[in-house]
Amino acid sequence: MLPLFTPFQIKNLKIRNRIVMPPMALDIATEDGAVSHKIIEHYRARTRDVGMIIVEHSYINPIGKAHPCQLGIYDDSLIPGLEILAAEIKKYGVTVGIQISHAGARALDTPSGPSSVQSKYLKRFGGKEKTSYRVLPKKLEHEDLKEIAIDFARAARRAQKAGFDFVEIHGAHGYLLNQFYSPLTNFRHDEYGGSLERRLTFPLEVVKRVRRAVGKDYPVFYRLGADDRLPDGNTLQDSITAAQALEAVGVDCIDLSGGISGYIKKGEEGFFTYMAETIRPYVNIPLIVTGGIKTGAKANEIIESGKADLVGVGRALLQDKDWAYKERLKLEGKSEEKLDEELEEKLDESKSCPKETCESDSLYMDDLVEELEISH
Ligand SMILES: Cc1cc2nc3c(=O)[nH]c(=O)nc-3n(C[C@H](O)[C@H](O)[C@H](O)COP(=O)(O)O)c2cc1C
């Protein structure tokens, strides 16, 4: 069997293959952050031959909301909708987790962060930083940090209650935990800022709270912004320390990404693979790597080389919901006829899909992808 399609296990989680749909928010929840029909249809459509789906970043409290129709996980009343979403994805044999996040200084209306500094590196939804330039983020005090850590923990419990197989803490892409970790956005002089160890204090406190809330057996992932890719920012060397510290406090899998102000890099397929390659010898927990992967051949090569344990495929899956299926057929050397035949069957199956949902699925996608690329 091709390495890409071999099963993998994290704690008690059995994942059927190594392809991960990474978190990708499309701003299609309700204004209150509840699961919508569009969301369910969007994920359901992408379950074919994918091993794991990490549902998009969901805000843990209203202060940390990043965009108007972001998915939320800040209140127990949202659990029933999340339960339906998790169950729908699991029905197709896919392992499913959800990413929990606080936008910090990138929040839609209420920016807050480690320091009260307007950072040119942090973009807010809809270019809000331009119109509200003078609104400095509120500096978070110790009491606020405690509350936020508790909100993360509560959100993680909700994910668990809703039936998600695991929870992922968002520590990348310029969101709050990345803001604490990065010297470009953290100018504090207390125990939460200064040295690398201190900048890691708050992210680690959040992980510890989450771990306590979900118990020792529930898998907790961490999306690490492992390389700011900017002068004076965090380097991959710093992230070796960060990855080891995350493992030490009970993170079960590190989902690697980077770029405090943009996670897309033009260039070769698998542009963040170097992160996994560097960190791999220093930790024992599994690594996911995402970035620019467009072909099954590249994904397979990354797994075969042992550089990462799982590969994230984002935009390629947004653009073609059957990406994993088609790439599998190609890798297995299935004939064009076979491909057509199987696709024909798929089309027949999809005739049962209500017209309205299918149409809206393709309509919103093109419009939103461009705008949201810089926003999560
Ligand atoms: C529309 C869109 C929304 C995204 N939302 C999130 C998100 O909610 N959380 C996150 O960690 N990354 C988010 N990302 C980043 C992706 O998870 C991924 O890291 C990035 O797209 C690079 O992978 P790719 O080249 O395979 O697309 C988003 C990306 C896109 C394109």
pLDDT in tens, 122-149: 988 887 665 555 679 999 999 999 999 9
- The neighbour count for residue 253, using CB atoms within 10 Å, is 24
Q: Residue 375's pLDDT is what? A: 42
Q: How many domains does the chain have?
A: 1
| Structural domain of 59 | 3-372
Determine if ligand 1 sits within 6 Å of the CB of residue 56.
yes
Q: Residue 336's pLDDT is what? A: 58
Average the pLDDT over 181-185 and give the result: 97
Ligand 1 pocket mutation pick from 178, 263, 265, 369 by most atoms within 8 angstroms of CB: 263
Distance CA 261, CA 119 (A): 10
Q: Residue 235's pLDDT is what? A: 96
Alpha helices in 67-200 (DSSP H): 79-90, 128-131, 142-161, 176-181, 196-199
* Active site residue ranges: 175
Q: Residue 128's pLDDT is what? A: 66
- Check residue 72 and report its DSSP letter: B
Determine if ligand 1 sits within 6 Å of the CB of residue 172.
yes
pLDDT in tens, 32-61: 999 999 999 999 999 999 999 999 999 999
pLDDT higher than 70, residue 91: yes
Residue nearest to atom 28 of ligand 1 (CA): 24
pLDDT higher than 50, residue 366: no
Q: Residue 125's pLDDT is what? A: 85
Q: How far is the CA of 42 from the centre of ligand 1 (A)?
A: 15
Q: Residue 131's pLDDT is what? A: 54
Positive or negative CA dihedral for 167, 171, 172, 175? positive
Q: Residue 126's pLDDT is what? A: 80
Instruction: Determine whether 365 is exposed, middle or buried from the number of CB atoms within 10 Å of its CB (0-12, 13-18, 19+).
Output: middle
Residue nearest to atom 26 of ligand 1 (CA): 314
Determine if ligand 1 sits within 6 Å of the CB of residue 114.
no
Q: What is the mean pLDDT of the chain?
A: 90
pLDDT grade, residue 369 (50/70/90)? very low
pLDDT higher than 60, residue 12: yes
Determine if ligand 1 sits within 6 Å of the CB of residue 178.
no
Instruction: Determine whether 293 is exposed, middle or buried from the number of CB atoms within 10 Å of its CB (0-12, 13-18, 19+).
Output: buried
Q: Residue 347's pLDDT is what? A: 61
User: Domain holding 261: CATH number?
Assistant: 3.20.20.70
Q: How far is the CA of 345 from the centre of ligand 1 (A)?
A: 30
Q: How far is the CA of 70 from the centre of ligand 1 (A)?
A: 14
Q: Residue 134's pLDDT is what? A: 63
Average the pLDDT over 97-104 and give the result: 98
* Percent of the chain predicted with pLDDT > 90: 81
pLDDT higher than 50, residue 153: yes
pLDDT higher than 70, residue 216: yes
pLDDT in tens, 304-337: 999 999 999 999 999 999 999 999 999 999 865 6
More confident residue, 202 or 350: 202
Q: How far is the CA of 103 from the centre of ligand 1 (A)?
A: 15
